[in-house]
Amino acid sequence: MQKQTKFLLSENDIPRYYYNIMADSPVPATPVLNPMTKEPVTPDFLSALFPMNLIEQEISMDRYIEIPDEVREIYKLWRPTPLIRAHRLEKALDTPAHIYFKYEGVSPSGSHKSNTAVAQAYYNKIAGTKALTTETGAGQWGSALSMACKFFDLDLEVYMVRVSYEQKPYRRYLMETYGAQVYPSPSTRTQAGKAILAQDADSPGSLGIAISEAVEAAAISNGLKKYGLGSVLNHVLLHQSVIGEEAIKQMDMADEYPDVVIGCVGGGSNFAGIAFPFLREKLLNDRDTRFIAVEPTASPTLTRGKYAFDYGDTAQMAPIVKMHTLGHDFIPAKIHAGGLRYHGMAPQMSMMVDAGLVNAVAISQMDVFEAASLFATTEGILPAPESAHAIRGAINEAMDAKALGEKRVILFNLSGHGHFDLTSYQAYNEGKLEHYDYPEEAIASIDERLPNVSLGVTN
């Protein structure tokens, strides 16, 4: 009997609604605080950064939010994305497990980030926004938002973490081709950037710093610019739910249902995108699925960070949220070859981990690139280093199934391709990468670096 490899949907199957996990969450939402007053944020405060239509999504408790026709029309450029059975990987592992992956690398910008980029650009456009600012780490988010802004005739300035700006120039070139202005962060364009450079002229930067610069650039524009965020906040996570909604239909086509759903995590958006619709099925319909979020040992937010209120950025300009955090002053190691370098985690993700609904594991970059290489040579797709964390998690699950002699259905999100990450692969192939664990002394000092929050809620 011939094995089916791809499970494809038609354009008519593109989801018509985003799914909002907050409607079904067994954990109540934690407050979002003004970084200056440490009181709950007001719509007026958020409106300096976001249009009101996105603020409404951020605080919504509606289970479903209709996807605009204009957004669905652009989604047709790459959605629905394929669900693929990794037969050749299964054979190489000699495992009884069935391994499926949802491939988001088919989007024009190369990753899942386009799902929310197009939505955010649309909602800003209809709200009258003329330009956006944003940050990017490895460059996938910046590339996606650059494309989306071009589609909706919006200007964009991108603050790219300096170490990635230097290590991943082709992502920068792609952003510039789409029409964005790209600056290495920390930069001399903002007070936040200048302050960091005054302390360390050779600062490699961090997502926290780049967020500070992008937030400042939007906040001082007198309403001319808004801020676009690629992960962490709820409106971003719910835009990504199109991934999981499609995957549920495709697993039905495969006549199987996942025992485990896996995704890499940096801020939480691609994991939430594939996992939260399946988590809904677990919460509402008692479907028995485990959820595993895979992060790097170099930035172990969920596995070693503290679940506490912290600033969303380094300069303490972004809202304070309760999340797993390594401290807003976190600077990732230069040797870390992948992205996933944010100091915190999406509040909704953190809530699910804290409630025991999602398990988190941290994996070394050496193990990640070993998995990425095996995947490339068996399935033919070169994965982004970030996405390869999910591959490693899936391989570990498949090998555990082999050891136990049990069939296990594994689904993971392959959130993007690695065509612009070849310098990292070169370093791995030449033996220049090394194992790195975030130091224990830095973990031990997190408490003393957190904001003092009262308001009847404490760290």
Q: Which residues contact 457 (CB under 8 A, 6 or more apart)?
A: 30, 31, 309, 322
CB 114 within 8 A of CB 91: no
CB 85 within 8 A of CB 98: yes
Cβ-count burial 61-77 (b if 16+ within 10 Å, e if not) = eeebbebeeebbebbee
What is the dihedral angle through the alpha carbons of 372, 377, 382, 383, rounded to the nearest 10 degrees?
-30
Cα R_g (the chain), whole angstroms: 20
Bridge partners (DSSP) listed for residue 99? 410
Cβ-count burial 15-36 (b if 16+ within 10 Å, e if not) = beebbbbbebbeeeebbbbebe
Cβ-count burial 95-113 (b if 16+ within 10 Å, e if not) = bebbbbbbbbbbbebbbbb
In 3D, which of 216, 185, 188 has the Cα closest to residue 35?
Answer: 216
Burial of 376 (0-12, 13-18, 19+ CB in 10 A): middle
Q: What is the pLDDT of residue 331?
A: 87
Type of residue numbered 318:
A
Two tokens at 265? 């995590």
d(CA 232, CA 272): 10
Q: What is the pLDDT of residue 454?
A: 76
The answer to whether the Cα torsion of 199, 201, 207, 210 is positive or negative is positive
Please tell me what DSSP assigns to residue 156: E
Cβ-count burial 141-174 (b if 16+ within 10 Å, e if not) = bbbbbbbbbbbbebbbbbbbbbbbbebbeebbeb
Please tell me what DSSP assigns to residue 1: -
Rounded mean pLDDT of the chain? Answer: 95
Bridge partners (DSSP) listed for residue 372? none
Least confident window among 6-15, 200-209, 252-261, 328-337: 328-337
Burial of 400 (0-12, 13-18, 19+ CB in 10 A): middle
The answer to whether residue 44 scores a pLDDT higher than 90 is no
In 3D, which of 388, 375, 371, 407 has the Cα closest to residue 95?
Answer: 407
Mean pLDDT of 77-92: 98
* Cis? peptide before 186, omega within 30° of 0: yes
**What percent of the chain is predicted at pLDDT more than 70?**
98
d(CA 238, CA 269): 8
CB 22 within 8 A of CB 61: yes
Looking at the chain, how many residues does it have? Answer: 459
Q: Which domains does the chain have, with CATH numbers?
A: 6-13+76-110+242-449 (3.40.50.1100), 17-67+113-234 (3.40.50.1100)
Least confident window among 67-71, 193-197, 415-419, 435-439: 435-439
Burial of 217 (0-12, 13-18, 19+ CB in 10 A): buried
d(CA 391, CA 411): 10
Angle, alpha carbons 6-8-12 (nearest 5°) = 175
Question: Can you tell me whether residue 176 is helix, strand or coil?
Answer: helix
pTM of the model as a whole = 0.96
The answer to whether residue 459 scores a pLDDT higher than 80 is no
In 3D, which of 430, 414, 169 has the Cα closest to residue 271?
Answer: 414
Q: Which residue has the higher pLDDT, 164 or 366?
A: 366
d(CA 89, CA 378): 6
Least confident window among 39-48, 56-65, 381-390: 39-48
Q: What is the pLDDT of residue 455?
A: 62
For 225-240, what is each residue's pLDDT tens digit? 999 999 999 999 999 9
Q: List strand residue ranges (DSSP E) for 401-444, in order.
A: 409-414
Least confident window among 6-15, 222-231, 450-459: 450-459
Band (pLDDT 50/70/90 cuts) for residue 413 is: very high
Question: Can you tell me whether residue 154 is helix, strand or coil?
Answer: coil
Write 398-407 long-range contacts (CB < 8 A, 24+). Answer: 398/89, 398/90, 398/93, 398/95, 398/97, 398/99, 399/93, 399/95, 401/95, 401/96, 401/97, 402/93, 402/94, 402/95, 402/96, 402/97, 405/96, 406/96, 407/96, 407/97, 407/98
The answer to whether residue 105 scores a pLDDT higher than 90 is yes
Least confident window among 48-52, 104-108, 164-168, 251-255: 164-168
Mean pLDDT of 168-192: 95
Band (pLDDT 50/70/90 cuts) for residue 340 is: confident
